Structure 1
Amino acid sequence: MKFDVIAQEWFHSKVGLVKDSTLSAYYQQLRSHILPYWKDMDVESFKKNDAQLFIGQKFQEGLSMKTVKDLEITLKQILLYAVDEHDMNVPTAFKLKYPTANLVSKKEELQIYSLDEQRRIVQYFREHPSYRTLGVVIVICTGLRIGEICGLRWSDISLESNMLQVNRTVERIVDYSTGKTKVVIQSPKTINSQRSVPFPSWLADILISFAAPCRSDYYVISGSDKLIEPRTYRNYYRNLLLNKIGLSRCIKFHGLRHTYASTLITNGADVKTVSTMLGHSTVSTTLDIYTHSTLESRRKCAETILMK
Structure 2
Amino acid sequence: MAQIEKRTTKDGKTTRWRVKWRDGGRRDGEWNGETFDYQADAKRFKALVDANGNHRPSPEQLAEHGFGRLAPAPAAAPIDEPEAMTFRQYALAWLETLTKPSAETKRKYLERLEKHVLPTLGDLPIAGITRRMLREWQTGLIAAGLSRKTIANIRGESMFPIFRASCLPGEDEEPPLRTYNPMDGLALPDGPKFERDFLETPEQASILLTAAYEVDPEAADLLLTKLACGLRWGEVAALPPEAVRKHLGTIEIRQVLRKVERRWVVEPKPKTRNGYRQVPLHPLVMHVVNQRAEKAVDFVFCAPRGNHWRYEDFYDWRWVKIRTLAEKRGLRGHMTMHGLRHSLLTLLATEGLDLPGLKGVAGHAQVSTTMDVYVHHTTAHHEPVRRIVGGFLEAGIRAGEEQRAASIGRAAEYRGRVHRAARQVRPTGARP
Same fold (TM over 0.5): yes
The change in CA–CA distance for 1:151 and 1:290 in structure 2 (over 3 A counts) is: closer
Q: Contact between 1:117 and 1:247, CA under 8 Å: does it hold in 2?
A: no
Deviation at residue 26 of structure 1 after TM alignment: 0.5
After TM superposition, the score normalised by the length of structure 2 is 0.54
Q: Contact between 2:208 and 2:323, CA under 8 Å: does it hold in 1?
A: yes
SS of the equivalent of 2:94 reads helix
The change in CA–CA distance for 1:131 and 1:26 in structure 2 (over 3 A counts) is: same
1:211 to 282, 289, 293: 293
**Residue 27 in 1 paired to residue 113 in 2?**
no
Cα deviations by residue, 1:126-166 (Å, 9 ceiling, x for unpaired): 99995433211101101222232212222333223233333
| Structure 2 residue ranges without an equivalent (≥5) | 1-84, 392-432
Q: Contact between 1:139 and 1:256, CA under 8 Å: does it hold in 2?
A: yes
Equivalence for 1:85: 171
Deviation at residue 57 of structure 1 after TM alignment: 3.4
The change in CA–CA distance for 1:128 and 1:229 in structure 2 (over 3 A counts) is: closer
Query: Which of the two has higher C-alpha Rg?
Result: 2
Equivalence for 2:157: 73
Equivalence for 2:38: none
Deviation at residue 195 of structure 1 after TM alignment: 4.0
**Residue 57 in 1 paired to residue 139 in 2?**
yes
Cα deviations by residue, 1:277-304 (Å, 9 ceiling, x for unpaired): 23445444444445643x6455566567
SS of the equivalent of 2:266 reads strand
Q: Contact between 2:211 and 2:322, CA under 8 Å: does it hold in 1?
A: no
In 1, Cα distance between equivalents of 2:183 and 2:356: 30
Task: Within 5 Å, give how 1:152-191 maps onto structure 2.
Answer: 152-172=239-259, 175=261, 181-186=262-267, 188-191=270-273
Deviation at residue 28 of structure 1 after TM alignment: 2.0
Equivalence for 2:280: 198
After TM superposition, the score normalised by the length of structure 1 is 0.72
| Identical pairs, percent | 17
Equivalence for 1:178: none
Q: Contact between 1:59 and 1:68, CA under 8 Å: does it hold in 2?
A: no
Q: More deviation in 224-233 or 275-284?
A: 275-284
Letter in 1 for 2:312: R
> What RMSD in Å do the two structures reach over aligned CA positions?
4.2
In 2, Cα distance between equivalents of 1:147 and 1:2: 39
In 1, Cα distance between equivalents of 2:234 and 2:148: 23
Task: Within 5 Å, give how 1:91-170 maps onto structure 2.
Answer: 96-97=184-185, 103-108=190-195, 110-112=197-199, 114-119=201-206, 131-170=218-257
Q: Contact between 2:242 and 2:293, CA under 8 Å: does it hold in 1?
A: no
Equivalence for 1:269: 353
**Which one has more relative contact order, counting CA pairs under 8 Å at least 6 apart?**
1
**Residue 221 in 1 paired to residue 301 in 2?**
yes
SS of the equivalent of 2:353 reads coil
The change in CA–CA distance for 1:112 and 1:125 in structure 2 (over 3 A counts) is: closer
In 2, Cα distance between equivalents of 1:99 and 1:240: 39
Equivalence for 2:312: 231
Equivalence for 1:39: 122
In 1, Cα distance between equivalents of 2:147 and 2:382: 34
